[in-house]
Amino acid sequence: MFDFIAESPLDRVRLCGAGRASRREFLQIGSLAALGLSLPQLLRAKETGLVKPGNDRRSCIMIFNLGGPSHIDLWDMKPDAASEIRGPFKPMRTKSTAFELSELLPQHARLADKFSLVRSCWHDGAAVHDAGWQMMQTGRRFTGGIQTPHAGSVASFLMGRKSDLPPFVVLPQLMGRGGGNLPNGQAGGFLGKAHDPFALMADPSQKDFKVPDLLPPDQIGAHRLERRKSMRQIVEGAVAEFEASEDARLMDENFHAAFRIMTSEQARAAFDLSKEPASVRERYGMNRFGQCCLLARRLVESGVRFVTINTFLTVFDEITWDIHGSKPFTSIAGMKEIVCPMYDQAYSALIEDLSQRGLLGDTLVANLAEFGRTPKVNPAGGRDHWPQCFTVYFAGGGVQGGRVVGKSDSIGAYPAERPVKPGDVVATIFKSLGFDHTAHLPGPGGRPFSLVDLGTEPIQELFT
């Protein structure tokens, strides 16, 4: 089966005037691997009934709170616990009668009828960032050399593109290092690089923001366009047996799709934040995360299936949710002053904007993290990594707002009711997108690979 890895006649194709071109070089021309294009496996899998597409109206925005927010200080407060557990902040009433939130999230409190909390999430992975990243975004720990695809890559595979835009986008760029030297889960995995996300690789809050590969043709440059046009020549110049194959036809379609994205007025318009009124941009916040949230709304409105927003990029070079207390990390107080105002403003703007535009019903907004924080405040005035219990939450996409699923114990250390695993979280995303979580993908070697592990189920209480 042709999958961009095994040897095929394409490996022997010559680029015009450039000598032999390897498959890697072919994929690097114009970042074809990042455009979420179709693979022959999809056609064959659909022909055999192995997979079925989801709800064509649905999309997902995953906000990944890189660093691991403190559930006890934000979404699952313990005001009756000892001071070293409850921390310095007070709970406040919300628009939902089912739950209170931290005083650090006043805009969340105002919109609490539009989202629901899951307070009993946990996993048994190592307490390192990248272990949690891969589990929470793919539903599995990578074992046996198999890398499970990101939920957005599965959406790309099953739903395909809806417009000139790529089906799966990561903003503002892929995650950086997490300290564990593990794959972070933001890739196509065994589905192949064709279902890797399109990564923006730019800060949309900057005045000179633009997406390099989506510039008008006269700004891309003749040399770069010629390089991209040569992809068509690769397909046309392939050996006879490859030209006659289904793979060649699909690769020819892929070339046209890649070229269409780069020269598409629709794609350029979707990424053009200058089209937004200044008041709207300011409502989201003129910072990287705020403008990424606004861009995510523009992208799903334009037909992108799945957008992942990394709240931060790494835990090493910036202040994040990783509040260990001692430098270079911030403290619980620093979270109050730096992180929460930016986050609260942008999230509330996104939910309100989607709702006012009639998009929230078909757009799931999933707020995830790799773990929570230790119940006890450490001597440096922070909290450390704690995968044994944390909170995630969901809005839109069929989810009923104002609810709480699950419960943690009296100090927020372990689930006390309705424990929820990473696979359950990903299955919930798949349910919102209309996928049958019991279905299979064509996995490594063409073998069927289940969307989620046996025993993993969507969080049904969110939908009924």
Q: Are 316 and 323 in contact (CB under 8 A)?
A: no
| Host H or E run for residue 243 | helix 240-243
Question: Hey, which residues does 395 pair with through a beta bridge?
Answer: 115, 365
Nearest to 365 by CA among 161, 114, 139: 114
CA distances from residue 421 to 45, 184, 307, 357, 425 in whole angstroms, order as listed: 28, 18, 22, 33, 7
| Nearest Cα residue to 320 out of 305, 342, 292, 303 | 342
Coil, helix or strand at residue 104: coil
Count H helices and E strands in the chain, helices first: 17, 18
Helical residues (DSSP H) of 19-178, grouped into ranges: 23-28, 40-48, 71-74, 83-86, 106-110, 129-138, 151-159
pLDDT beneath 70: ranges in the chain: 1-52, 212-213, 215-262
Cα atoms in the 13 Å half-sphere on the side-chain side of 439: 20
Q: How many CB atoms lie within 10 A of CB 155?
A: 27
Q: What is the pLDDT of residue 53?
A: 73
Record: fold of 58-209+274-462 = Alkaline Phosphatase, subunit A (3.40.720)
Model pLDDT for residues 75-119, shown as the tens digit of each residue: 999 999 999 999 999 999 999 999 999 999 999 999 999 999 999
**pLDDT per position as a tens digit, 50-65:** 556 788 999 999 999 9
pLDDT of residue 445: 86
Angle of CA points 67, 68, 70, to nearest 5°? 130
Residue whose token pair is 């949230």: 293
> Which residue is listed with tokens 């934040």?
273
First CA to last CA distance, the chain = 42
